């Protein structure tokens, strides 16, 4: 088991990230503030805590499916990445793709956080890449179906 340190901002203990169910992949993140999300705009929502990730790990901030389906809310940079060296407050960049304003209340669940171990990777320069069945096809080249 890997230990990850969480430091709560003053007055934010009730916002500590928790899993709704024991076997969930992600920890729920809650809003530290009351806020209004305006249609067609991104808003940074603070989550009330700082995190110390071990080197070789990241925290991925992901949207909540219910907010996406029911209210057209998404995360602008999804998934967002919290790097191991970052020590500031975790924030969630929310985007309102709907037509109506959406009010967020302090303590409301706004996103999910997954802690991931990163593989050790070395990028190597190469003038030649091996052939593949896909080749350079991308951006919808396989069709709609």
Q: How many CA atoms lie within 13 A of 69 on its CB side?
A: 3
Q: Residue 137 — pLDDT band, cuts 50, 70, 90?
A: confident
Closest listed residue to residue 45, CA positions, set 96, 104, 133: 104
**Cα 81 from Cα 68, distance rounded (Å):** 19
**Cα 131 from Cα 4, distance rounded (Å):** 41
Note the pLDDT tens digit of each residue in 75-131: 998 899 999 999 999 999 999 999 999 999 999 999 999 999 999 999 999 999 999
142: pLDDT strictly greater than 80: no
φ/ψ region of 70 (left if φ > 0, alpha if ψ in -120 to 50, else beta) reads alpha
Note the pLDDT tens digit of each residue in 25-76: 999 999 999 999 999 999 999 999 999 999 999 999 999 999 999 999 999 9
66: Cβ–Cβ under 8 A, 6 or more apart, which residues? none
- Name the average pLDDT for the chain: 95
DSSP code, position 14 = G
Phi, psi dihedrals of residue 14, rounded to the nearest 5°: -70, -5
Provide the pLDDT for residue 141. 72
């Amino acid at each position: 088991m890997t230990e990850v340190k969480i430091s709560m901002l003053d007055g934010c203990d009730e916002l500590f990230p928790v899993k709704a169910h024991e076997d969930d992949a992600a920890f729920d993140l809650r809003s530290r503030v009351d806020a209004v999300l305006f249609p067609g705009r991104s808003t940074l929502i603070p989550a009330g805590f700082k995190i110390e990730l071990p080197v070789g790990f990241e925290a991925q901030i992901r949207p909540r499916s219910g907010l996406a389906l029911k209210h057209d809310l998404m995360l602008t940079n999804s998934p967002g990445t919290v790097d191991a060296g970052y020590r500031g407050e975790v924030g969630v960049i929310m985007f309102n793709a709907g037509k109506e304003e959406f009010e967020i209340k302090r303590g409301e669940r706004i996103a999910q956080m997954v802690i991931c171990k990163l593989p050790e990777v070395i990028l190597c320069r190469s003038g030649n890449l091996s052939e593949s069945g896909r080749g350079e096809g991308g951006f919808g080249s396989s069709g709609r179906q």
